[in-house]
Amino acid sequence: MGDTRDSSFDAVVVGSGIAGLRAAIEIGRGGGRVAILTKDDPTDSATDKAQGGLAAVLSDDDEISLHYQDTLLAGDGLCHEGAVRVLVEEGPARARELIDWGARFDREGAGLALAREAAHSKRRILRAQGDSTGREIARALVVKSSEDSRITLLPHIFSVDLILQGGRCAGILAVDEAQGRPAILRARAVVLASGGAGQAYLESTNPPQATGDGMAMAYRAGAEMMDMEFVQFHPTALCVEGAPRFLLSEAMRGEGGRLENFGGERFMARFDVRGELAPRDIVARGIVAEMRRTGHPCVYLSMRDLNPELARRRFPMIAATCAAYGLDIGDDRIPVAPCAHYMMGGVKTDLWGRTSITGLYAAGEVACTGVHGANRLASNSLLEGLVFGARAGRAVLGDSLSSLEGGALLTDAGTALAIDRDAAEATIRSLKKVLWEGAGLLREGRGLGRSIDAILKLERGLGLRAVSRRGVEARNLMFVGRLIAESALKRQESRGAHYREDFPEKDPGRGRHSIIAPGAPAPDLPRFAVPNTE
């Protein structure tokens, strides 16, 4: 932890998940002084909540080429093949590095216990405590980062906007919520690792912090965005009235869990020969189709083919959460339904995390290298954070820290922001409903058009000033929501996680990435006021 008043930094990393921590570690061990900003506690990230695993080729029974092909197949013709090759080839080394740094993955005897998940051809999924993999990885990376005096972790610093100077990114406008004051962090380089935007949807597995902050900041600054229409909906989230939409890991199906309708019939074979082990987009749409056919608000995940005690021991966190709502994962059928889960699109980067703005880098879910294509392969997200977080850190060392003189200093930026939380909360609730109904799992042109109109109206209603943290988050979610809906309207085909009921077939002529290129700070999007510090 550090004091925001008296620290100077070469680089600022926004986000304390897997990508941000890994980028900071890389910058630190290369000699750079780096601050990690997180708007709440350091463990409040999607990484910490990740039940799934880390996909990497670590067994003699597996091959890099197989992981490569599995990723391409899941991506439905839209993966950037160079990015996929980087992911699968560098993944094993990054995973072994984690183990060397103290990450405690599950083992069988003297070896690693490798699991299999949907759309993987081999067992290659590293897990920790069954379903707490993300938490263990985050723990190991936080410990590793704390060993480097050049890395400073600054919690409760809410990043508001990027500072642009001379055509490059020169820092962050933030709010130090602990001290109740705005602040400016000057930096030679900024790495966005702020996660996704799942909170734009009514039903989401994402933590409350997933409000699209990094994507919105980058877009307001004029950065190119890519593939924003591709939002992954996880097939199996807990569907109990009054319960959070808690994710039930894909590994439950990988270990023999089956999907049943209200009458106890398995149904996934009607949609794909792989049944419950089909890619996520197919399983999610199959579930929705069955819910429509039966008129029932959910389907059921059953682990009854697995020994009940083994199921509880294999998935302890899931078992404990379900037990809190009176459900036993070993004996009961668990009601599930799809929820928004992961953004495949984001800030466009090259294979080293560079964005279209000099001095600005991005890694993890906020970024889009094209590695996931139209649909992310299960357990490739944690791997992406490791691989491309490390690459972004190396790029910062080579590009930015060698090209400028002088460090960055956090300075006072004036008075604290006022509070306008009620209006922001009402706007966010409306946006969630608009996107869920019009730009959710199943889409069509008229609904997307109505969604765009509704979002524009919400933007005007919120006004030009976002005068509280929640107000800034509301505006960020609206920007990202509008980009999702506009991109989905333009893609007149169905591909991967993007499904148009009015264009249900894949169009070979549209097998290309969608790019949003403002080219300069977008004139129609009011940037938040940045004090003149020159």
Report the alpha-carbon distance of residue 324 to residue 322 in Å, rounded.
5
Task: Read off the DSSP letter of residue 131.
Answer: T
Exposure string of 207-223, with b = 16+ CB inside 10 Å and e = fewer, is: bebbbbbbbbbbbbbbb
Residues 6+ apart with CB under 8 A from 471: 420, 421, 423, 424, 462, 465
Find the catalytic residue in 33, 186, 220, 280. Answer: 280
List per-residue pLDDT tens for the chain, 534 residues long.
444 444 578 999 999 999 999 999 999 999 999 999 999 877 766 665 555 689 999 999 999 999 999 999 999 999 999 999 999 999 999 999 999 999 999 999 889 999 888 789 999 999 998 667 888 999 999 999 999 999 999 999 999 999 999 889 999 999 988 888 888 999 999 999 999 999 999 999 998 999 999 999 999 999 999 999 999 999 999 999 888 888 898 888 888 899 999 999 999 999 999 999 888 888 999 999 999 999 999 999 999 888 888 889 888 889 999 999 999 999 999 999 999 999 999 999 999 999 999 999 999 999 999 999 999 998 999 999 999 999 999 999 999 776 544 445 455 544 445 546 778 899 999 999 999 999 999 999 999 999 999 999 998 887 655 568 898 999 999 999 999 999 999 999 999 999 999 999 999 988 899 999 876 555 444 444 433 333
Alpha helices in 60-181 (DSSP H): 64-74, 81-100, 133-146
- The confidence score (pLDDT) of residue 371 equals 98
Task: Say how far residue 194 (Cα) sits from the centre of its chain.
Answer: 8
Residues 6+ apart with CB under 8 A from 512: 78
By C-alpha distance, which of 498, 529, 531 is closest to 513? 498
Residue 363 DSSP SS3: coil
Q: Are strands 225-226 and 231-238 parallel, antiparallel or unpaired?
A: unpaired
Report the alpha-carbon distance of residue 225 to residue 207 in Å, rounded.
23
173 φ, ψ (degrees, to nearest 5): -90, 125
Identity of the amino acid at 518: P
- The confidence score (pLDDT) of residue 459 equals 87
* Residue in this structure with the two tokens 């979002």, named with its chain if needed: 455
The yes-or-no answer on residue 333 being catalytic is no
Element (H, E) at 502: none
Identity of the amino acid at 74: A
**Helices 133-146 and 81-100, interaxial angle, to 10°?**
70
Report the alpha-carbon distance of residue 64 to residue 87 in Å, rounded.
10
Rounded CA Rg of the chain:
22
Are 343 and 204 spatial neighbours (Cβ–Cβ below 8 Å)? no
Distances (CA, A) of 411 to 39, 165, 260, 415: 18, 16, 58, 12
How many of the other CB atoms lie within 10 Å of CB of 99?
A: 14
CA dihedral 339, 426, 193, 137 (to 10 degrees): -50
- The confidence score (pLDDT) of residue 167 equals 86
Domains in the chain: ranges and CATH:
8-227+344-412 (3.50.50.60), 235-340 (3.90.700.10), 421-499 (1.20.58.100)
How many of the other CB atoms lie within 10 Å of CB of 41?
A: 12
